[in-house]
């Protein structure tokens, strides 16, 4: 069965303190790995898609990387506005649906 | 602006009542999805549709029904058979079926009176 595990569950950072969020996955052939940001009471906002090991994507202070077993979302010099829940999801080959992790709640304090 | 509109934002259901959640998209996407989000759990797929007049059950379809009569609309009915309907419901769409990111609306929060 396809599974996604995100860690840590929650992370508190000071503004400017860089860190990484982890997404470990087991899937029968990866078609794509997706990162989303979700603010309280809102729907997830798409950030990145990664398709193969070694691939990297960047957007402002965020950088996503992918290996054969996990993905990392690196946050460089975070700001309070980066506070949100970050969700990871995988799509297996031959299947349309996404399997989501439970997310990492990030709080960045000024 | 293109996007996905879910309504209402908050909905209350009485015992034995069916309620319908609206989802409309103007992105010209072929595929649409309904998810349920509960605290401490990942999003779980209820139903999805690849084309008009066709839809498939997801992982937790019991107690729910959908229709896809128009490309831009994918309403979800929570029936009285769904015994634990209190949750945050999210509608999504994607331009294709594989390798494409799903884009989400801002959800409907359903509670029981």
| Band of pLDDT at residue B47, cut at 50, 70 and 90 | very high
Quote the minimal CA–CA distance from A75 to chain B in Å.
Answer: 21
The answer, for A14 touching chain B at a CB cutoff of 8 Å, is no
> Is A89 an interface residue toward B (CB < 8 Å)?
yes
Interval B49-73: pLDDT, tens: 999 999 999 999 999 999 999 999 9
Q: pLDDT by residue (tens digit) across A33-48?
A: 999 999 999 999 999 9
* Full DSSP string of B32-98: EEEEEE-TTS--EEEEEESSTT--EE-TT-TTEEE--SBTTB--EEE-TT-S---EEEEEEEESSSS
User: What residues contact residue B12 under an 8 Å CB cut-off, 6+ apart?
Assistant: B110, B111, B112, B113
Compute the distance between CA of residue A1 and CA of residue B97 in angstroms, rounded to an integer.
20
Q: Do A96 and B42 touch (CB under 8 A)?
A: no
Q: What is the pLDDT of residue A83?
A: 98
Chain A contact probe: residue of B101, B103, B104, B107 with most A CBs at under 10 A = B101
Mean local confidence (pLDDT), A78-94: 94
In chain A, what residues touch B41 (CB-CB under 8 Å)?
102
Flag whether pLDDT at A95 surpasses 80: no
Give me the pLDDT at residue A44, please.
97
Query: For residue A94, what pLDDT band results from cuts at 50, 70 and 90?
Result: confident
Q: Do A99 and B42 touch (CB under 8 A)?
A: yes
Give the mean pLDDT of B18-40. 95
Q: What is the pLDDT of residue B98?
A: 80
Check residue B89 and give its pLDDT.
98
Chain A's closest residue to B38, CA to CA, is A102
């Amino acid at each position: 069965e396809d599974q996604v595990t995100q860690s840590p569950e929650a992370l508190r950072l000071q503004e400017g303190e860089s860190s990484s969020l982890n997404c470990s996955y087991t899937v029968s052939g990866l078609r794509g790995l997706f990162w989303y940001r979700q603010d309280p009471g809102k729907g997830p906002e798409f950030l990145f898609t990664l398709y193969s090991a070694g691939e990297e994507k960047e957007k402002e202070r965020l950088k996503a990387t992918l290996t054969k077993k996990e993905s990392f979302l690196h946050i460089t010099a975070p700001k309070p506005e980066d506070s949100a829940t970050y969700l990871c999801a995988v799509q297996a080959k031959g299947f349309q649906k996404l399997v989501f992790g439970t997310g990492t709640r990030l709080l960045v304090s000024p | 602006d293109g996007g996905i509109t879910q309504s209402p934002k908050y909905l209350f259901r009485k015992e034995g009542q069916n309620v319908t959640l609206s989802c409309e998209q103007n992105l010209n996407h072929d595929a649409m999805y309904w998810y349920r989000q509960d605290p401490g759990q990942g999003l779980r797929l209820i139903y999805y549709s690849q084309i008009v007049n066709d839809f498939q059950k997801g992982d937790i379809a019991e107690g729910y029904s959908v229709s896809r009569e128009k490309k831009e609309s994918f309403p979800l009915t929570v029936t009285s058979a769904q015994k634990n309907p209190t949750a945050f419901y999210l509608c999504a769409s994607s331009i294709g079926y594989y390798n494409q990111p799903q884009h989400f609306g801002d959800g409907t929060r359903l509670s029981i009176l």
